[in-house]
Structure 1
Amino acid sequence: MPSRPAPVSAPLSAPLRNDIYVWQRAWTPALGQAMDRAAPDVAAWRVLAAEVSAEGRTAPVLLNDGRLEALRAHLAGRPVILVVRIDGRVGDTDPAPLVAAALAPLERWRRAGVAVAGLEIDHDCPTSRLPFYARFLKELHARLGGTRLSITALPTWLPAPALTDVVAVPDEVVLQVHAVAAPTDGLFNPAQAAHWVAAYARRFTTPFRVALPDYGARVSWNADDSLATVEGETPLLAGGAHANELMVRPADVAAFLNDLRAKAPPNLKGIAWFRLPTADDRRAWSLATWAAVARGETPLGHVVARAEATTTPGLSSLVLANDGTADAKLPSGLDLPAACPLGDGANGYARDPLAPQATPRLVRLSPGLLPAGGRRAVGWLRCPDSPSPPVIHVRP
């Protein structure tokens, strides 16, 4: 079915609504606490309910530990969109088994008392298989009755003619503008994301949301620079030839949102954040930073290093403090004063063995975030002849 011409862009008369993905595989107390704290800024929860493997096997997620009752207790009256993730390598001969796999979690959750408002399919299928995907969605939509259907969409699909048939089926599309493509790329490029949003809006009138990231990931590549693994909130035991820790800066996302609000197309309905930060998730922003960005603020992190005196004369503790309003990346290194010949790192930092004795420094062993208002002890210094507190230079 051909898409109607897209309407002309116009400013939004109201703020963009914020949905957020609950992507955890098991229920924890931290998850419930995060939902309670996030609820005032959330319009709807998009909850991962099941995953369909490449072989077509369906694995429930939160239902595994019987904690749907706990989930219901933390919904705060917000609607739930149940998400079924389908492996991109799944076979494409017959849509019927996939339709059954997608409907099964919906039926189970409703029997368990969860008032599901919609079903979302997250399927990163190859562009060449979009015609099959459209067939699957049509069959699924016909079985849903009055339940709304949404899908996630990859930017790589945008030039494909077959995408017209895919987008014509669901009630809503979630355009994912965060991705990993190459070792030199990050997780989020604001200019590229704006280009993808404009490209979608020019071509389609189906209502859509933009999926934005609030997380980091350890990404590894094979020797030929093909993607090997993406490690997020769940640790992986696999690896590649080389790896990077990629982190999305809150200021970058806030700037993108400010531009988006100013010139949003009329069929843009809001933001879908990936993912709900919890205290257990060491690769996501803090919940306070996410909430600030979601509300339209532009928080900034500011990390300083301090040498704090101890009860031992001449001995100081090295402490990093984030005096800003947003989570900040841990500094890559700390330059120590020459007047402090003795010292070492701790808690993710170590003395650089290649640095000259006259200019000692600590280097970061692994990237991470320091929450707004947070502190981290990263080593010690002995400055026997320094009459004033030593000055520590922070390397970005």
Structure 2
Amino acid sequence: MFRSLSLAFATALLMACGGAPAPLSHDAYIWQRQWTPSLRSAIGASGDVVRDWRVLVAQASRDGRFQVFMPDRATLAASHRPVVLVVRIDGRLATFDAEVLRERIARIAAGWPNAAGVEIDYDCPTARLPAYAAFLRELKPALGATPLSITALPTWIGAPELDAVLAIPDESVLQVHAVQAPQAGLFNPVIAAEWVKNYAKHTHKPFRVALPTYGSRVSWNDDGTLLAVESEQAALAAGAVSSELYASADTVLAFVQQLSADRPRGLAGIVWFRLPTTDDTRAWSLATWRGVITNQLDRAPLRLHLRDAGNGASDVLLENPASADASAPERVALPAGCELADGIDGYRLEPNGPTPTLVAALARPLRAHTTRAIGWARCRPGTLTTLTLQGTPVS
């Protein structure tokens, strides 16, 4: 029950005594509400690289409703990994009955006697940090011996109340993805590194950093206001302007390597949001995620194929032969001999180019060992039908 917390304090003690810290550990959020066969399969295939599962078990919604979810306990037990129970409080929830919410969380924890901990995921507005601290002070004793964790936002850094909040839980998780306006992208490693360094100055407890395994499509109205964000599920509508936000596996791996090489005091590990599954088309493949964790990303050049589609036209296909996902190339120049072309699935024809070139607009990453059509072309007989691409991917 206390394995996770003991490891975290052992790491902090070693660092305080000048010894070499243990390698960064890796946890994963299981945020899915539906326990599908692909989710169960992903859990079963990942126990060897995961320290703890952080499982969403309840949510206090914006409208004040409290929903309790039913994780598959048998699947979790079969993975032989500890479980941290995550309760999400919607950051847009202006006020809540602290006593009632505390009792509900304590009741959930009591129903999981072997849980490794309870985590509160509350994107609390900075102005409400004093009230949040008061809530946590009352919650911690209500959990008895069960360790308490919280998630934290970079916007809290510099707030006078932050140190008081971080003094209450046994550990915290700093989120460094999807915390800025969508126009700024999903994850910026330079900014994230600064956040982690500054955050470490405010906590004397072990902490972890939450990193993304997913992408999002963001749509705006004509007036520039945000319309929809498509990440875990399809957006309700498409905006006049859309863009694909993607956390490149190479970028995230380089960030983890940087954290390991220049490790801030108290940093115990990484928490991945979220566990990839084959159903989750906007997350990395499971192989890519494992490659980032084990520092063994398989890479191979992308290939361009022209496949006869009849009537003198050819489908333009991109192939990723590697066992790790690949970012979409920004530009795809078609072979000499192609005279007409157009793009599909996130690609468009570059206007007025000397030769037909497809340019990425909303191109999605290419999953491992997949081939995807990105356009069509009409090419003269004898045109090369297979090329190896040497270009800079979209990150």
TM-score (norm 1): 0.84
- Counting only pairs closer than 5 Å after superposition, residues 131-150 of structure 1 correspond to structure 2 as 131-150=130-149
> Which digits, 9 at most, give the CA deviation of each residue in 1:362-390, with x for residues without a partner?
45563211123322234454434326547
1:298 to 1:80, Cα distance in 2 relative to 1, 3 A:
same
Shift of 1:164: 1.5
Q: Secondary structure in 2 aligned to 1:328?
A: coil
Match of 1:25 in 2: 33
Q: Which amino acid aligns with 1:352?
A: L
- What do the CA deviations read for 1:270-314 (whole angstroms, capped 9, x no partner)? 11011100001111111111111112345556423122568x797
Counterpart amino acid of 1:25? R
Spell out, residue by residue over 1:234-264, the C-alpha distance to the aligned partner (whole angstroms, 9 max, x if none).
Answer: 2231566643210011111111111111121
CA distance in 2, matches of 1:382, 1:217: 33
Give the whole-Å Cα distance in 1 for the aligned partners of 2:38 and 2:144: 35
Of residues 69, 72, 95, the one that matches 1:68 is 72
Structure 1 residues without counterparts, runs of 5 or longer: 1-6
Over 3 Å counting, the alpha-carbon distance change for 1:81 and 1:222 in structure 2 is: farther
- Structure 2 Cα separation of the partners of residues 251 and 115 of structure 1: 36
Query: How far does residue 29 in structure 1 lie from its aligned partner after superposition?
Result: 0.6
Is the Cα–Cα contact under 8 Å of residues 140 and 169 in structure 2 kept in the other structure? yes
Find the partner of 1:51 among 30, 50, 59.
59
Please identify, of 263-272 and 380-389, the stretch whose mean Cα deviation from structure 2 is larger: 380-389
Q: Give the % identical residues.
A: 46
Aligned to 1:96: 99
Q: Which residue is equivalent to 2:83?
A: 80
- AA aligned opposite 2:274: R
Query: Distance between the aligned counterparts of 1:47 and 1:76, measured in 2?
Result: 13
Compared CA separation, residues 390 and 289, structure 1 to 2 (3 A): closer
CA offsets per residue over residues 324-378 of structure 1, 9 Å max, x none? 45312223453334523355555x266639456x733445563211123322234
Q: Is the 8 A contact 1:32 1:71 kept in 2?
A: yes
Q: Is contact 2:313–2:378 with CA below 8 Å preserved after alignment? A: yes
The answer as to whether partners of 2:44 and 2:75 remain within 8 angstroms in 1 is: no
Cα deviation for residue 93 of structure 1 reads: 6.4
Q: Which letter maps to 2:144?
A: G
| Aligned counterparts of 1:225 and 1:318: Cα–Cα separation in 2 | 33
Q: How many residues align?
A: 378
Q: Deviations over 1:28-68 (max 9, x none)?
A: 1110111112211100000111110133311123x2xxx62
Q: Distance in 2 between matches of 1:140 and 1:183?
A: 33
1:232 alignment counterpart: 231
User: CA RMSD of the aligned region, Å?
Assistant: 3.1
- 1:12·1:262 contact (CA, 8 Å) conserved in 2? no
The aligned amino acid for 2:89 is: I
Does the 8 Å contact 1:340/1:383 carry over to 2?
A: yes
2:100 partner letter: P
Change in CA separation of 1:11 and 1:257 when aligned onto 2, cut-off 3 Å: farther
* 3-state SS, counterpart of residue 40 of structure 1: coil
Deviation by residue 1:4-24 (Cα, 9 ceiling, x = unmatched): xxx879685332110000111
1:165-314 aligned within 5 A: 165-221=164-220, 229-237=228-236, 242-297=241-296, 300=299, 302-308=301-307
- Partner Cα distance (2:20, 2:79) in 1: 27
| Secondary structure in 2 matching 1:293 | helix
Amino acid at match of 2:337: A
The amino acid of 1:366's aligned partner reads L
Q: What is the distance in 1 between the residues matched to 2:305 and 2:360?
A: 16
SS of residue paired to 1:206: coil
State whether structure 2 residue 349 is matched by structure 1 residue 352.
yes
**Structure 1 equivalent of residue 21 of structure 2:** 13
CA 1:361–1:43 in 2, change beyond 3 Å: closer, same or farther?
A: same
Pick from 355, 370, 378 the counterpart of residue 374 of structure 1: 370
2:200/2:266 contact within 8 Å kept: yes
